[in-house]
Amino acid sequence: MSSLADRATAGEGSGSNKPSRRVAYYYDQDVGNYTYYLGHPMKPHRIRMAHNLIVNYGLTDEVEEDAPDVEGEGKREMNDEISNGNGNHVPEHKFIKNSLTGSRSKHMQVFRPHRATKAQMTRFHTDEYIEFLENVTPETAEAMTGGGVRCLIGEDCPAFDGLFEFCSISAGGSLGGAERLNSGAADIAINWAGGLHHAKKTEASGFCYVNDIVLGILELLRIHPRVLYIDVDVHHGDGVEEAFYTTDRVMTCSFHRFGEFFPGTGDVRDVGMKRGKGYAVNVPLRDGITDESYHTIFKPVIQHIMDYFRPSAVILQMGADSLSGDKLGGFNLTLKGHGECTSFVKSFGVPVMMLGGGGYTTKNVARAWTNETAVMCGKTLPEDLPYNQYMEYYGPRYKLEVLPNNTDDHNPSEYLDKIRTQVIENLRNLPHAPSVQMRQVPTQTISQAIGLTKDNDQIDPDDEIEIRLKKYMQEKQLHGGYSPHDSDDEDIPMNGDSDHDDSTYSIPGRNRRQGGINGLPRRTLPSRLNGNKRSTNGIANGQSDEEDEDPCGITKRKKRSFFSKKHTSGIQGLVNKKLNGLNSLNGITVGNGNIVEFWKENNGNGNGNSINGGLGVVSRGESPMSIA
């Protein structure tokens, strides 16, 4: 078996004319319609500019590089055999078939991704947070965020029109690319709308709302035992590192500017914890790093990671804010140096998903992502830009280039040698590439696979009746032949619309089966079935709303929701009755049956936990920790 180093040596470099690997490119034309607000550094319009340049360079056009040369020989018959250059004869209809199926007819296959659903987003994010993103609007953001202290913190992540749709496009492209890599239908997947690496589980951060990278990695882990995440954005990929900080199946490697800079994390000593100790790699760099200095540390670190960790899939975040001249960055990389990272990772021959990320000088972002798309397709693009819809953006030279500036490089060779030595030493301490026991799990039925049914199809009415009858019979068997729905005292419908607590009908525990709990006989029915309503001693006696007591006297914990929930009319009446007209209890306001949590604002003169005057919130675009 050839080593990864051998494959890297024999791999394709930038501008190679060798046949490219199968590339799947994901783009949704609606992604450029959204805007954070006027003057915000993040502009989704840059993705549309990059796509327009990619199309006009011909990377999505049909090509026939491997078709037979028929010039001067007249028209061939369908079954004529021709030489393939090695002395072997290949039927011509093979090329016609390849052209029809698309396997050789394009540099890359272009797809419009499916929008990610709420269920897919909650594979990583909480249900409350995704529900919040779906419902928040610019008009309701102030009230729903408690004055900007939860979910959407500060001015970096505003609530703009179409926020949830924008997130679904970004996450849908990364999920679609991961699924295509898993199926083996592509070797490389590209989604320039993705790469939003700052988003956390319950809050937005650094212009990022939904972490499509984490969702894509989780999808890849269904098939691949080990996944490597490489981040060349000028900012530290804190959201992805935090998500996989305690696992050894995902290694995160971030090359970023470190110091007085957002988000302030990513020290070289941050290597993970518990089972994931050693599987978080951070390479902190200083201002003004050039192509030569960057690759003296990028290539050795990636080479050692591939040798020690041996991932079966790679996610490459190509944030363009590390380019020279970026509005918020501080590096001095050129277009060639930035694209060389892509060609080096591609040379290892493992499946790669390439994502976007930062980048706030839109014309340079479009140039960089176009060049890196061509690298993945194995093509060399001419330096003169073709005519495109946004030609005026690229003046006055109108060339595919990002030139370095005269910024001083604050990364001396001694500093880079020290960082490289420490990172490689941490990698050598890893015991081995972790192994994982995996098994094949069917993901969909045959009818779904061939398109007869879809996930969002409604349940057939006949099937719904069978489900309800099955549930009814199960309840009757669990209660010794008695079903709670058989009670004559009160009519409880079978469709689950009752306002009573369903825990009364749960499976009895061992103590209850062997004689009851707290003196309750085994065959005695719960008090609620004898006409007595459920006790609310937990609220009437002034206990916390997190505790409740069931009819058997067992105290149980109730999960507290992050946002207020709509209660049924039965619970509303119960609460209003038991509170006897009280308007507040233990800091909880009750009005019309809705429980709402107050957010009190500190003026900064007290304990230092101020919202407006005390401890400040680190901002990606508006604080002195960023270079404007």
- pLDDT per position as a tens digit, 369-398: 999 999 999 999 999 999 999 999 998 999
Encode pLDDT of 80-108 as tens digits.
Answer: 444 444 545 545 444 444 444 444 456 78
Encode pLDDT of 284-301 as tens digits.
Answer: 999 999 999 999 999 999
Q: pTM for the whole thing? A: 0.66
> Between 510 and 442, where is the model more confident?
442
Contact 83, 92 (CB under 8 A): no
Q: Round to whole Å and give the CA distance between 107 and 59.
A: 6
> For residue 171, what pLDDT is reported?
96
For the segment 248-272, the average pLDDT, to the nearest whole number, is 92
Residue by residue, DSSP assigns 475-541 as: HHHHTTT--GGG-SSS---TTS---S-GGGGSPP-HHHHTT-STT--TTPPPGGGGTPPPP-HHHHT
Q: Is the pLDDT of residue 177 over 70?
A: yes
For the segment 508-533, the average pLDDT, to the nearest whole number, is 43
pLDDT tier at 368, thresholds 50, 70, 90: very high
Contact 256, 212 (CB under 8 A): no
State which amino acid sits at residue 89: H
pLDDT tier at 75, thresholds 50, 70, 90: very low
Encode pLDDT of 322-339 as tens digits.
Answer: 999 999 999 999 999 999
pLDDT tier at 170, thresholds 50, 70, 90: very high
Q: Is the pLDDT of residue 403 over 80?
A: yes
pLDDT tier at 20, thresholds 50, 70, 90: low
Which residues are designated catalytic?
A: 198
3-state SS class at 107:
coil
Residue 231's DSSP bridge partners are 254, 317
pLDDT tier at 249, thresholds 50, 70, 90: very high
For the segment 358-376, the average pLDDT, to the nearest whole number, is 95
Pairing assessment for the beta strands 81-83 and 89-91 based on DSSP bridges:
antiparallel
> Between 111 and 619, where is the model more confident?
111
> For residue 151, what pLDDT is reported?
87
> Between 212 and 21, where is the model more confident?
212
Q: What is the mean pLDDT of the chain?
A: 74
> For residue 260, what pLDDT is reported?
86
> For residue 431, what pLDDT is reported?
80
Residue 111's DSSP bridge partners are 26
> For residue 88, what pLDDT is reported?
52
> For residue 439, what pLDDT is reported?
72
Q: Is the pLDDT of residue 188 over 50?
A: yes
Encode pLDDT of 534-574 as tens digits.
Answer: 443 443 344 444 444 444 444 444 443 333 344 444 444 44
For the segment 234-239, the average pLDDT, to the nearest whole number, is 94
**C-beta neighbour count of 60 within 10 angstroms:** 18
Please calculate the CA angle 433-434-440 and round it to the nearest 5 degrees.
120
Q: Is the pLDDT of residue 186 over 60?
A: yes
pLDDT tier at 156, thresholds 50, 70, 90: confident
Encode pLDDT of 594-605 as tens digits.
Answer: 433 333 344 444
Residue 353's DSSP bridge partners are 189, 315
> Between 79 and 191, where is the model more confident?
191
For the segment 420-425, the average pLDDT, to the nearest whole number, is 93
